[in-house]
């Protein structure tokens, strides 16, 4: 049995495994520029965030129907359940699909089909977080929020992802204000490749409740103080940071120092099909590389439930935390 945990930083499009990509390509008559799954896997050598994003967006061409999105999400949930995930807050990138002529309704309804069966089939409670692509315009983000109108009952919050440097959070002030007025929760990627100033903006301009990554927080002691004071959760993705060369090797990851500084950090997989592991694999990898003890792992699992958007169901949060406390390594 695996340590029970919540996954709070997971792009559903980043769970597209090569086998499913080829199967959907055949079904939808999409030609991929790779002839085998091995050849595709060999392309997973990234220099930075952008080199990954280029492939990530290209492979999405195979996702066309509601059933494709259902298959994608169900496959993720099955793998996540096998690694102890009990609650998942799942990102999706509507603009990456609408730009290819796939309606946002197809995306949300397809994902929702898998999510609706998730508790019964996989024992995982779920939420959806709609991300805006920060390398597109603020107007495009606003249009996306508007297009999501009929599906807002399925969407818990908004996020901000894609190429970070040169696209500061403040660019999206207006759409975050509009999202908050609609009752949506707010998160944003910040400090993955971008500077600590972007994390400050995410907090002070967008009013985010969690920071996705926040890897570069430790460069700014005042920022660390602020994040500790306000108990702002950071959703770290250590395997992603190595694969996208934000750090050289996992042994250099600041996770341990961040915990010791009193930050509320969580461990997540980001885009597990591309980065070499799902969240249970990630816990295992950081335990080995950083020499974390059982109580530190348990604390990371507790943090994942503390940071989850479960305010509407505190009983459930308490039950998950009790599962973590009762877990025997
Ligand atoms: N989209 C998918 N994965 C991402 C990441 N790690 N950073 C920014 N945007 C992303
Ligand atoms: Zn991410």
Q: pLDDT (tens digit, 9 = 90+) per residue, 33-70?
A: 999 999 999 999 999 999 999 999 999 999 999 999 99
Any domain includes 320: no
**Phi-psi category of residue 219: left, alpha or beta, with phi > 0 → left and psi -120 to 50 → alpha:** alpha
Any domain includes 327: no
- Mean per-residue pLDDT over the chain, rounded: 98
pLDDT tens figures, 127-166: 999 999 999 999 999 999 999 999 999 999 999 999 999 9
Q: Which domain range does residue 189 map to? A: 5-314
| Stretch 185-203: mean pLDDT | 99
Q: Quick one: pLDDT at residue 177?
A: 99
Any domain includes 142: yes
- Residue 14, pLDDT above cutoff 90: yes
Any domain includes 329: no
d(CA 22, CA 17): 9
Q: How does strand 264-267 pair with strand 233-236? A: parallel
Name the residue of 167, 189, 234 whose CB sits within 8 Å of the most ligand 1 atoms, as the mutation to test its pocket.
189
Q: Quick one: pLDDT at residue 224?
A: 99
Any domain includes 183: yes
- Residue 1, pLDDT above cutoff 90: no
Number of domains in the chain: 1
Any domain includes 321: no
**pLDDT band at 89; cut points 50, 70, 90:** very high
Q: How far is the CA of 303 from the centre of ligand 1 (A)?
A: 22
DSSP per residue, 121-179: HHS-EEEEEEEEETTS-HHHHHHHHHHTGGGGGG--EEEEES--TT--GGGGHHHHHHH
Ligand nearest to the CA of 7: 2
Q: Quick one: pLDDT at residue 141?
A: 99
CATH number for position 78? 3.20.20.140
Any domain includes 280: yes
Q: Between residues 1 and 220, which one has the greater pLDDT?
A: 220
Any domain includes 326: no
Annotated catalytic residues are 192
Residues with CB under 6 A from ligand 1: 11, 14, 49, 56, 161-162, 189, 192, 240, 270-271
Q: DSSP code of 308?
A: S
């Amino acid at each position: 049995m695996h340590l029970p945990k919540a996954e709070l930083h997971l792009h559903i499009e980043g769970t597209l495994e090569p086998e499913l990509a080829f199967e959907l390509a055949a079904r939808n008559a999409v030609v991929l520029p790779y002839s085998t799954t091995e050849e595709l896997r060999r392309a997973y050598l990234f220099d930075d965030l952008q080199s990954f994003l280029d492939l990530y967006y290209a492979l999405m061409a195979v996702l066309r129907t509601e059933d494709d999105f259902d298959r994608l999400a169900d496959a993720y949930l099955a793998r996540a359940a096998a690694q102890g995930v009990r609650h998942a807050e799942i990102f999706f990138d509507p603009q990456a699909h609408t730009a290819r002529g796939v309606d946002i309704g197809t995306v949300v309804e397809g994902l929702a089909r898998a999510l609706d069966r998730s508790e019964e089939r996989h024992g995982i409670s779920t939420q959806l977080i709609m991300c805006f692509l920060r390398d597109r315009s603020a107007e495009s983000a606003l249009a996306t929020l508007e297009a999501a109108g009929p599906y807002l009952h399925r969407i818990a919050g908004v996020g901000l992802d894609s190429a970070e440097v040169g696209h500061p959070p403040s660019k999206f002030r207006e759409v975050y204000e509009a999202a908050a007025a609609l009752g949506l929760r707010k998160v944003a990627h910040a400090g993955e490749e971008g500077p600590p100033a972007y994390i400050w903006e995410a907090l002070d301009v967008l009013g985010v409740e969690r920071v996705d990554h926040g890897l570069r927080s430790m460069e700014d002691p005042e920022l660390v103080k602020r994040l500790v004071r306000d108990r702002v959760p950071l959703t770290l993705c250590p395997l992603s940071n190595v694969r996208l060369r934000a750090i050289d090797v996992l042994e250099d990851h600041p996770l341990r120092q961040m915990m010791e500084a009193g930050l509320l950090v969580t461990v997540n997989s980001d885009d597990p099909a591309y980065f070499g592991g799902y969240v249970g694999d990630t816990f295992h990898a950081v335990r080995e590389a950083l020499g974390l003890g059982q109580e530190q792992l348990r604390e990371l699992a507790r943090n994942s439930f503390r940071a989850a958007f479960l305010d509407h169901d505190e009983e459930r949060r308490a039950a998950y935390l009790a599962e973590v406390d009762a877990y025997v390594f």
